[in-house]
Structure 1
Amino acid sequence: MGRQVLVLNADYSALSVCTVPKAFLLVYLNKAEMVAESDSEHLRTVTSSYALPTIIRLHAYVQVPYKRIILNRHNIFKRDHHQCQYCGSNRDLTLDHVLPKSRGGKTTWDNLVAACKHCNSKKGDSLPEEIGMKLRQKPFRPTFVMFVRDYSGNVESTWLPYLNRWR
């Protein structure tokens, strides 16, 4: 049961994603209500069958500080769709500082991209434009909702109204 459930705050804003057992427990303990359920799947016990949640809403509003996506290798690769941002390859990926660290480049969302080993070594200590390389997309910091919507993999169609309203 590797499905994910979208968790909404009391004001219907996207809060997080959790597992089906966690979501079911929140509903069962009356800490959340089911907003949407699967048409085709159910949770079954020996004597009962329950709707499988796809979206739940918490009863109590949770005050959350500004949610930021953690800057790490895995999340950079997700943002860049596991493709080299110079040639499009999906093999032997590394991280590249667009403005090299030796030239004052920082380790930030706006300066890191996925790059294959070949392009990374070809670029070396240069700026991409200095050696005729172009980025496929400019690096950026994804928002939490964008990350859930675009990069979490399996996004249910029922989630989209809740994810698209908070861009």
Structure 2
Amino acid sequence: MGRKVLVLNQDYSALSVCSVPKAFLLVYLHKAEMIADSPTYALRTVSEIYPMPTVIRLNKYINLPYRGVMMTRQNIFKRDGNRCQYCGTHEDLTLDHVLPKSRGGKTNWDNLATACKRCNSRKGDYTPEEASMPLFQRPFRPSFLMFLRDFSGTIDEGWLPYLGAREAMY
């Protein structure tokens, strides 16, 4: 049961993603309500059949002062589509400082890009322009909703209205 469930705050803003068992437990304990369920899957016990949640909303508002995306190696790889930003390969990936650290480059979202070992070594202590190695996309800091929508793997179609997609909620 590797499916995920979108968790909404009381005001219908996206809060996180959790497992189906965790979401079911929140609904069963009346800490959340089911907003959408799967039309094709169900949760079964020996004597009962329950709808499998895909979107739940918490009954109490959770105040989160910081809802940013943690800058980790894996999150940078996800942002860049698990491909080298110089040649496009998916093999031997590492992180590259676009502006090298030796030249004042910082370790942040806007200066780190996914690169294969070969391209990272070839670029060396140069900027992409100096090495004649243009980036497929400039590094950027993803927003929380963007990360949930675009970089968290496959998402359920029922999540789109809550993740700032073009489809209207009503």
TM over 0.5: yes
Determine the C-alpha separation between the residues in 2 that align with 1:129 and 1:43. Answer: 55
Q: Quick one: which amino acid aligns to residue 11 of structure 2?
A: D
Higher helix share: 1
Q: How many pairs does the alignment contain? A: 166
In 2, Cα distance between equivalents of 1:96 and 1:158: 36
Q: Which residue of 2 aligns with 1:50?
A: 50
Aligned to 1:106: 106
Does 1:40 pair with 2:33? no
Q: Which residue number corresponds to residue 22 of structure 1?
A: 22
Alignment of 1:1-167 (within 5 A): 1-164=1-164
Moved more, 102-111 or 64-73: 64-73
SS at match of 2:83: coil
Q: Tell me the CA shift for residue 25 of structure 1.
A: 0.5
Residue 41 of structure 2: SS of its match in structure 1? Answer: strand
CA distance in 2: counterparts of 1:91 and 1:29, whole angstroms: 45
| More moved, 64-73 vs 32-41 | 64-73
Q: In structure 2, what residue type is equivalent to 1:4?
A: K
Superimposed CA distance per residue, residues 61-87 of structure 1 (whole angstroms, 9 cap, x where no aligned partner): 111112111111101100000010011
Structure 2 distance, partners of 1:82, 1:15, is 25
- Once residues 4 and 156 of structure 1 are traced to their aligned partners in structure 2, the CA distance between those partners, rounded to angstroms, is 8
- For each residue in 1:121-164, what CA deviation from the matched residue of structure 2 results, as whole angstroms up to 9, or x when unmatched? 01000011012110100100111111110011120000000001
Partner Cα distance (2:76, 2:156) in 1: 23
- Tell me, in whole angstroms, the C-alpha distance in 2 between the residues paired with 1:56 and 1:46: 24
Deviation at 1:165, TM superposition (A): 5.7
% identical equivalent positions:
65
Letter in 2 for 1:132: S
Q: Secondary structure at the match of 2:163?
A: helix
* Matched residue SS, 1:118: helix
The runs of 4+ residues in structure 1 deviating greater than 6 Å are none
For structure 1, the 5+ residue unaligned runs are none
Cα offsets for 1:97-126 (capped at 9, x unmatched): 000000011100000000011110010000
Shift of 1:13: 0.3
Normalising by structure 2, report the TM-score: 0.96
For residues 67 and 165 of structure 1, the distance between their equivalents in structure 2, rounded to whole angstroms, comes to 18
